[in-house]
Amino acid sequence: MDKIKAVIIDDEYLARQIILNYLDNQEFIEIVAECENGFDALKTIQEMNPDLLFLDIQMPKINGFELVEVLDKKPEIIFITAFDQYAIKAFEMNAVDYLLKPYPKERFLQAIEKVKHRLASRSAAPDEKMTRLQETLDENPARIDRVITRMGSKIHVIPIDKIHYIESQDDYVMVYSETGNYLKEKTMKYFELHLPPQEFLRIHRSYIVNISQITAIELYGKDTHLAMLKCGAKLKVSAEGYKKLRERL
Amino acid sequence: MISRIFKNELISVYFLVWTAVAVVHFFLLYQLYHLQLLPSLLDSLLFNIIFSLFGIGFWFMVEYSGTQNLTQTDSIIQHSTLCAISVTIWIGAGNFLLKSMLSDHLVYLSFLSNTLTFRIFLGIMYYGMMISVFYLVVSYRQLREKREYESLLTTQLREAELTMLRSQIRPHFLFNSLNSISALTLNDPGKAHEMIIKLSDFMRYSLTFQGESMSTLEKELYHIKLYLDIEKIRFGPKLMIDYQIDEDCLQWPVPSMILQPIIENAVKYGVYEATSASEISVTARLTMPTLMLLSVSNVVDPDIVTRKGTGTGLKNVERRLETIYKQRDLIKTYNKDNRFFAQLYMPSNG
């Protein structure tokens, strides 16, 4: 069997050192890169196509989960975190490997063993497991204040107050923002749940709008209206959406 | 208010009891005193309906006076007066109505006037019983409300304590520091040793901290340095610290742990969220002989989109300063040249 190619992603030098130390004398695993943040990690993963990630969750600018979200092909992942009650619950529910800092060598090697098994038998594709984990995490009703998107190997962090509106496009949504338009693999329902309701409103089956962007609402046909946005867009407003908007404005 | 009365199940119980009283009343007259059917029926209905309606008034009086504290004599006077008035009206109205309705039932009319004294006693008894039951219901209800309120208070208190404890222990900081130590024990035991001692000192200080205690700037800075040293071991060259403390500020009185949340804030936004090297600067100088200015600033990466903190850390600092110095606006925060500044003004009178 080939050596397992692994990447360590953690913003703390000493935290990366532990993994290197624990892996000393192991012949079946090779650390091909170390990354300090999600931006570097994305490039590295796309270039190196590793089999395994050691992934810290709390990192600057984008966190571990946000990185996983924008990965096309998901390698095996061992999550590492210091303290995050919600994430730990999500890991347990989906039987994803995770290590709690500080962790002993035995526990670390156990996690590696599991990965080895899975890679050898190719059972339970990691993609599937990650999708389930992502679903569990998405159910957490915590508000988001940024949306992470990816174009090629570049990650865009869109602060939600820069979003003009969101349009549904089959399995994706298109996020229209001050800095450009970005495709994101999430549902309208996800955004409805996570964007702050004081600032965003679902005005139509296909649209969630940033309320502060609306300049005028015009009648359009019998039951529908059009919302005029500062950016020039005109969005259909359903009867129900119109009712909600009227309450808000 | 009316709808509230009728929604209440107590009202149905109340009228059920009165119905029972009326039935007994009727049978006594009809069977025991061998009065005719119509007078027995009317007598029972009229007297009991009138009194039961009075009772609703009594209920509101009891419910209302239950919330105020009357002296014993006051409430005795109040009840005697009310009792006398209502019994008089009750018998007066009852007699008047029955006399006019049953003017040709002579036997009954003489029975009515003969039982006047008895009815007065009956009225007083009814009044007394009703009032006692009402007081019982009201005080039971108050007791239950009080218990609910107390348990609510206990829960809130516990939550506040938990939040306080968690903020003192800082689980993220603690576990990440322990993780760094575990790495150091493998490669650099000397440094691990140093870090354990710093972490212990720091934890001890923050755990023994109590709300109102005062300290000196020198002592506070010592613990801030401990904290930043630990973070420096974690983040290495990414964290740089610049202290500019005037000599004459060192013995200045400051509330204990007042700087900690501000420094933590600077580390959170300046270091945790930064991908490049970041500097935190701490300065202290006297602006007037009686006023010290403490300033903490950190680099802000314009690209950072952080989770908007709840700002509770800085709000708590503000609230504490207000309680201690009885002065507002002792904290000022602003952004300038890609840096975030938090400035504290410390008067000399604590």
In angstroms, the separation between the Cα of residue A224 and the nearest Cα of chain B is 36
pLDDT at A216 over 60: yes
Do the chains contact at B236 and A82, CB–CB below 8 Å?
Answer: no
pLDDT at B32 over 80: yes
Closest CB from A36, A60, A158 relative to B273: A60
In angstroms, the separation between the Cα of residue B225 and the nearest Cα of chain A is 20
pLDDT at B305 over 50: yes
Do the chains contact at B233 and A14, CB–CB below 8 Å?
Answer: yes
pLDDT at B91 over 50: yes
Looking at residues A115-141, what average pLDDT do you find?
78
Render pLDDT for B37-70 as a digit per residue (tens, 0 to 9): 888 999 999 899 999 999 988 888 888 776 566 7
- Output the average pLDDT for chain A: 89
Q: Over chain B, what HEC string results?
A: CHHHHHHCHHHHHHHHHHHHHHHHHHHHHHHHCCCCHHHHHHHHHHHHHHHHHHHHHHHHHHHHHCCCCCCHHHHHHHHHHHHHHHHHHHHHHHHHHHHHHCCCCHHHHHHHHHCHHHHHHHHHHHHHHHHHHHHHHHHHHHHHHHHHHHHHHHHHHHHHHHHHHHHHHCHHHHHHHHHHHHHHHHHCHHHHHHHHHHHHHHHHHHHHCCCCCEEEHHHHHHHHHHHHHHHHHHHHHHEEEEEEECHHHCCCEEECCCCHHHHHHHHHHHHHCCCCCEEEEEEEEEEECCEEEEEEEEECCCCCCCCCCCCHHHHHHHHHHHHHHCCCCCEEEEEECCEEEEEEEEECCC
- State the fold for domain A146-248: OB fold (Dihydrolipoamide Acetyltransferase, E2P) (2.40.50)
Name the range with the highest mean pLDDT among A53-57, A118-122, B267-271: A53-57
pLDDT at A106 over 90: yes
Establish whether domains A4-139 and A146-248 are of one fold.
Answer: no
Do the chains contact at B182 and A13, CB–CB below 8 Å?
Answer: no
Rounded to two decimals, the ipTM of the complex is 0.84
In angstroms, the separation between the Cα of residue A44 and the nearest Cα of chain B is 16
Residue of B174, B182, B276 for testing the chain A interface, max A β-carbons within 10 Å: B182
pLDDT at B69: 67
Q: Which carries the bigger pLDDT value, residue A234 or residue B65? A: A234
- The residues spanned by each domain of chain A are 4-139, 146-248
Closest CB from A15, A39, A60 relative to B272: A60
In angstroms, the separation between the Cα of residue B224 and the nearest Cα of chain A is 21
pLDDT at A84: 80
Looking at residues A216-225, what average pLDDT do you find?
85
Residues of B engaging A, defined by a Cβ cutoff of 8 Å: 171-172, 174-176, 178-184, 186-187, 233-236, 272-275, 303-308
Do the chains contact at A157 and B175, CB–CB below 8 Å?
Answer: no
* CA-CA-CA-CA torsion sign (B45, B48, B54, B58): negative
Residues of chain A in contact with residue B306, where contact means CB-CB under 8 angstroms, are 145
Closest CB from A15, A37, A61 relative to B179: A15
Q: Which of A131, A160, A165, A154 is nearest to A234 (CA)?
A: A165
pLDDT at B68: 64
pLDDT at B36 over 60: yes
pLDDT at B6: 47
β-pairing verdict for B278-288 and B239-245: parallel
Question: What percentage of residues in chain B have a pLDDT greater than 90?
Answer: 40
- State the fold for domain A4-139: Rossmann fold (3.40.50)
pLDDT at B178: 95
Q: How confident is the model at residue B24 (pLDDT cuts 50, 70, 90)?
A: very high
pLDDT at B278 over 50: yes
Q: How many CB atoms lie within 10 A of CB A136?
A: 18
Q: How confident is the model at residue A67 (pLDDT cuts 50, 70, 90)?
A: very high
- Output the average pLDDT for chain B: 86
- The domains located in chain B, with CATH, are 2-156 (no CATH), 171-347 (3.30.565.10)
pLDDT at A83: 84
